[in-house]
Amino acid sequence: MIHNALSKKEIVEILKNNGLESGMIVEVHCSLSSLGYVIGGAQTLVDALMEVVGYHGTILMAMQSSQNTEPTTWKNPPVESELAAKIRENMPAFHRKESDVFNMGAVAENFRRREGVVISSHPSCAFAAWGKYAKFLCNHQSLHFALSEESATARLVELKASVLLMGVDYDCCTCMHLAEYRSDVRPIIMQGAAVEQKGARIWKQYLDFALDSSDFIPIGRLMEKNNLVHLFTLGDSTCRLFEAETAVNVAERYFKQTNISRYYQTTKLEGE
């Protein structure tokens, strides 16, 4: 039984009343199901975001193709080692509009199909953007170290952008990966993806860090403790709005002060 229903008008009003505004540059991550029943689903939510921000603002969403990666690094689920070669040989080459994106949600999938959306070229860690700075955010993304300085994560910091998490936790915040690169807390691994090169499909290897977004959750709680996050309710979900630069700086300081990536000593930061 549906007891409540969110309309586009209601979503627009709630977003405006909680800090989202015309001309804003914002990285968005959303779990549509966590909001409860939205009339019109993902289409309505994307329409509302575009209406509030406007084309002279910019919306960015991650378009990560997690299955177009080195299969021996998979964890959820892992793959039997004897199947790795078969997967590498048969994975379709990355295409901006055709390739599947996994676990990114209905909102991101609807967003990337919209007129005027620009999608970056990375085969595993692409971004989609719409609005004034869409091309600037997605024009160049390095194959190696995909979420570092030559990616939309660093451009968001430069542009003083915001991050909006809708019904998801901080481990979904893509821009915070920039702190992992800047603090150099992760081991370097060999990654790979299927790409199209000179008309032929090939498996391309590249270097990256062994990124771990689970560390972002205690960092986010620390931000909340220090009143660096605006929390509000939309439907059945908790939403979080904060500055991308603040998140990256707090995460970078966290990694450097703990000097570890998996075990936490947050008492060093609690007095800040």
Q: What is the pLDDT of residues 64-98, one digit of tens each?
A: 888 899 999 888 889 998 999 999 999 999 988 88
Residue 262, Cβ density class (10 Å: 0-12 exposed, 13-18 middle, ≥19 buried): exposed
Per-domain boundaries in the chain: 8-268
Query: Is a pLDDT exceeding 70 seen at residue 272?
Result: no
Q: What is the pLDDT of residues 193-231, one digit of tens each?
A: 999 988 899 999 999 999 999 999 999 999 999 999 999
Q: What is the pLDDT of residues 107-150, one digit of tens each?
A: 999 999 999 999 999 999 999 999 999 999 999 899 999 999 99
Neighbours of 33 (CB within 10 A): 14
Share above pLDDT 90 across residues of the chain, in percent, rounded to a whole number: 81
| pLDDT confidence band for 1 (50 / 70 / 90) | confident
Which residues lie across from 27 on neighbouring strands? 60, 163
Query: Is a pLDDT exceeding 90 seen at residue 264?
Result: no
CA dihedral 239, 244, 249, 254 (to 10 degrees): 30
pLDDT of amino acid 263: 40
pLDDT of amino acid 76: 81
What's this model's pTM, rounded to 2 decimal places?
0.91
Tell me how far apart the alpha carbons of residues 226 and 223 are, in angstroms, rounded to a whole number: 5
Tell me how far apart the alpha carbons of residues 87 and 77 are, in angstroms, rounded to a whole number: 14
C-alpha 199: how far from chain center: 30
Tell me how far apart the alpha carbons of residues 53 and 144 are, in angstroms, rounded to a whole number: 32
Q: What is the pLDDT of residues 236-257, one digit of tens each?
A: 999 999 999 999 999 999 998 8
